[in-house]
Amino acid sequence: MNIYRNVFRAYIKPQTRDVLTVDIKTNEDQLKLLLEQYGWIAMSVFTYEDILILYGERRGLEANPCGLFPKIETHLLDVVEMTGCKWRRMWDIFHYNSISCEEQWRRKIPDKNVEMRLNRVRPEMFSSYVFYHYQFQEEKTGLNDKYGIISFDDGLMSFYQEYPAEVEEYPFPGKLSTNNSPLDIWEDLMRKHFIRWEDFDQPWRPMQCLFSVIPDYIPQ
């Protein structure tokens, strides 16, 4: 059975962030039951100010959270006009590894932590950012955490990772046979693509994790 993974973003209604946080914290057990019932393998929800970002993995169907948590969605703005949908899918613009089957995708390290970071790319540099990351993705497959993924929507970029990192033992061959990724100057090069935060001195700022379910798997 195929596994799908997606990242979605939503916006919290004004003055409701604290209420939403409490609702999620006090309904964790119910949320976990819903995920199991509808075939979700993993889900993590993060927030920064009025931004909510969800990372999810699901068996057999797209990992789309729309309508899954009605109580929580009452605190969210409509992001797709005329539909009432509260979540919008973010584009996958970089990932360290692809999914081939459920066995290949299993976590092999127990007690992992999740992290989501947020960034903003300069509009005039977006195509450059995607170019460099696609090149990196297809030249250096499996180089870092196999679950790491960068997504983009509405000027925002999110970077999901798990720790301790798992590196794919047998990465898939990339679509490029070149070796042009400038990894020796990567950090400085990428900084030129970002909009600086006024109150934070790093390009990627951490988001607060409100809820997370990731499966533990310990090899026999």
Containing structural domain, residue 51: 3-213
Average pLDDT, the chain: 92
User: Which pLDDT does position 50 carry in this prediction?
Assistant: 94
Instruction: For Cα atoms 205, 13, 151, give the angle at the middle one, nearest 5 degrees.
Output: 40
What is the pTM for the complete model shown? 0.94
Specify the pLDDT at position 169.
84
Q: What's the confidence (pLDDT) of residue 171?
A: 84
Among candidates 102, 130, 115, which has minimal Cα distance to 207? 115
Q: What is the pLDDT of residue 89?
A: 94
pLDDT of residue 12: 95
Which comes out higher in pLDDT, residue 69 or 158? 158
Average pLDDT over residues 107-127: 95
Determine the pLDDT at residue 1. Answer: 73
User: Does residue 79 carry a pLDDT above 80?
Assistant: no
Helical pair 17-26 and 28-37, crossing angle rounded to 10 deg? 70
Token pair 């947020």 is found at 118
Is the pLDDT at 219 greater than 70? The verdict is no
112 part of a folded domain: yes
Q: To the nearest 10°, the Cα dihedral for 195, 201, 202, 208?
A: -100
- For residue 149, list its beta bridge partners: 95, 160
pLDDT higher than threshold 70 for residue 82: no
Instruction: Determine, yes or no, domain membership for 218.
Output: no
Query: Structural domain tally of the chain?
Result: 1
